[in-house]
Structure 1
Amino acid sequence: MAPIRVGIIGLTTVTPSDQGYTPGSWGLVHLTALTSSPHYKIVALCNSTAEKARKSIEQNKLDPATKAYGSPEELAQDPEVDLVVVSVHVDKHYDLAKPALLNKKSVFVEFPLSAKYPEVEELVKLAEQGNVKTIVGAQARGNLAFAKVSELIKSKAIGDVTSSSWVSHMPLSTWDGMLDALKDFTTLEGGPSRVNIALGHGLEPFLHALGEFKTVQAIFKTHGKIIPLFDTTGKVVNPEFKTTAPEYILIQGVLESGAVASINLRFVANSVDDATIRWIISGTEGELQFVSPAESYVQADLSQSKLRLKKWKGEVEEIDFKREEPAHITSGTNLVINTARLYESFATGNENGYPSFESARKVHNLIEQIKKVAVWAP
Structure 2
Amino acid sequence: MGHITAHQEHSSTAASPFHPSTKVPHLQSTDIIMAPIRVALIGLSASAKTSWASRAHLPYLLSPAGLAKFEIVALLNSSVAAAKSAIAEYNLPATTRAYGDPAALAADPDVDLVVCNTRVDKHAETIRPSLAAGKSVYSEWPLAQDAAHARDLAAVAAKSDARTVVGLQGRVAPLTVKVKALVQSGRIGKVLSSELRATGGSNDRDVLPPGLAYFTQREVGGNFYTIGVGHLFDLVQTVLGEADPVQGHFQLQRPLVHIAEPASEPGGPRPVIETLRSNVPDLVFFTGTLPESATTPTQKGATLHFRFRRGQTFPGDPAVVWTINGEKGEIRVLSPEVAALQVGSNEQPIVVEVHDFATDTVDRIPWAWDEPVAGLPMASRNVGLLYEAFAKGEGYPTFEDAVARHVQLDGLLASWEG
- CA shift digits 1:43-72 (9 cap, x unpaired): 111112223222221221111111122222
Q: Distance in 2 between matches of 1:131 and 1:313?
A: 53
Distance 2:152 2:407 in 1: 13
Specify the code of the residue in structure 2 equivalent to 1:41.
E
Range with greater deviation from structure 2 (105-114 or 310-319): 310-319
Contact 1:184/1:190 (<8 A) preserved: yes
Match of 2:325 in 1: 282
Residue 295 of structure 1 corresponds to which residue in structure 2?
Answer: 338
From 317, 322, 335, the equivalent of 2:363 is 317
How many Å apart are 1:14 and its aligned residue?
A: 2.9
Q: Is the 8 A contact 2:205 2:310 kept in 1?
A: no
Alignment of 1:26 with 2:71, yes or no, is no
Which aligned pairs between 1:74-85 and structure 2 lie closer than 5 A? Answer: 74-85=104-115
Code of the residue aligned with 1:132 in structure 2: it is A
Q: Deviations over 1:70-90 (max 9, x none)?
A: 222222222221110011010
Q: Which residue of 2 aligns with 1:333?
A: 377
Decide whether aligned partners of structure 1 residues 288 and 118 sit closer, same or farther in structure 2, where only a CA change above 3 A counts: same
Q: Is structure 2 residue 33 aligned with structure 1 residue 8?
A: no
* Aligned partners of 1:162 and 1:259 also within 8 Å: yes
**Among candidates 280, 303, 312, match of residue 260 of structure 1:** 303
Indicate the residue corresponding to 2:75 in structure 1: 45
Count of matched residue positions in the alignment of Structure 1 and Structure 2:
364
Matches of 2:342 and 2:114, distance apart in 1:
21
TM-score by length of 2: 0.80
Structure 1 stretch 86-95 or stretch 167-176: which is displaced more?
167-176
Match of residue 308 from structure 1: 353
SS in 1 for 2:288: strand
Instruction: State the 1:250 CA deviation.
Output: 1.2
Whichever residue aligns with residue 285 of structure 2, its letter is L
Q: Which amino acid aligns with 1:344?
A: E
Structure 2: how far apart are the matches of 1:107 and 1:251?
Answer: 31
Give the AA of the match of 2:271. Answer: K
Quote how far apart the aligned CAs of 1:294 are.
Answer: 0.2
1:21 alignment partner in structure 2 = none
- Determine helix, strand or coil for the equivalent of 1:94: helix
Q: Is the 8 A contact 2:344 2:350 kept in 1?
A: no
Deviation digits for residues 166-198 of structure 1 (CA, Å, limit 9, x no counterpart): 111115255453223312223333311211111
Distance 1:217 1:153, change over 3 A: same
Query: Aligned-pair distance for 1:137?
Result: 1.7
Please tell me whether residue 242 in structure 1 is matched to residue 277 in structure 2. yes
Q: Does 1:169 align with 2:215?
A: no
Match of 1:22 in 2: none
Larger-Rg structure: 2
Whether the aligned pair in 2 keeps the contact of 1:98 and 1:123 (CA below 8 Å) is yes
SS at match of 1:278: strand
1:210 to 240, 251, 257: 240
Which region of structure 1 is more displaced relative to structure 2, 113-122 or 67-76?
67-76
Query: Counterparts of 1:285 and 1:132 in 2: how far apart (Å)?
Result: 45
* 2:195 is the alignment partner of 1:195: no
Cα 1:80–1:171, aligned 2, differ >3 Å: closer, same or farther? Answer: closer
> Do the aligned residues in 2 keep the contact of 1:174 with 1:224 (CA within 8 Å)?
no
Q: Which runs of 5+ in 2 are unaligned?
A: 1-33, 264-269, 293-300
1:348/1:369 Cα in 2 relative to 1: closer, same or farther (>3 Å)? same
Structure 2 residue identity aligned to 1:325: E
- The residue that corresponds to 2:90 in the other structure is 60
Amino acid paired to 1:28? S
Does the Cα contact within 8 Å between 1:7 and 1:84 map onto a contact in 2? yes
CA RMSD, 1 decimal:
2.3
Rounded Cα–Cα distance in structure 1 between residues aligned with 2:369 and 2:288: 34
Q: Summarize the Cα distance change of 1:276–1:174 in structure 2 as closer, same or farther, 3 Å threshold.
A: closer
Deviation per residue, 1:88-120 (Å, 9 max, x gap): 010011112222221221111111111121111
TM-score, L = length of structure 1: 0.88
Give 1:265 deviation, angstroms.
0.3
Unpaired segments ≥5 residues, structure 1 = 18-24
**Secondary structure of residue in 1 paired with 2:220:** coil
Assess, with a 3 A threshold, how the Cα gap between structure 1 residues 86 and 150 changes in structure 2: closer, same or farther: same
Name 1:35's counterpart in structure 2.
62
Match of 1:105 in 2: 135
**1:232, 1:338 → 2: CA distance?**
28
- Aligned equivalents of 1:370 and 1:33: distance in 2? 35
Equivalent position amino acid for 1:7 in 2: A
C-alpha contact 2:169 2:342 (8 A) present in aligned 1: yes
CA distance in 2, matches of 1:15, 1:299: 22
Q: Tell me the alpha carbon deviations over residues 122-178 of structure 1, each in whole angstroms, 9 at most, x when there is no partner.
A: 222333343332221233334321221123334444333221101111152554532
Q: In the alignment, does 2:398 pair up with 1:359? A: no
> Hey, what's the Cα distance between the residues in 2 that align with 1:51 and 1:375?
43
Secondary structure at the aligned position of 1:214 is classed as: coil
Q: 2:390 maps to which residue?
A: 346
Whether the 8 Å contact between 1:181 and 1:231 is mirrored in structure 2 is no
CA drift of 1:12 comes to 0.8
- Asked if 1 retains the 8 angstrom alpha-carbon contact of 2:137 and 2:165, the reply is yes
Query: Larger deviation: 191-200 or 127-136?
Result: 127-136
- CA shift in 2, pair 1:186/1:298, >3 Å: farther
Contact kept in structure 1, 2:146 and 2:410, CA below 8 Å: no
Q: Distance in 2 between matches of 1:284 and 1:263?
A: 20
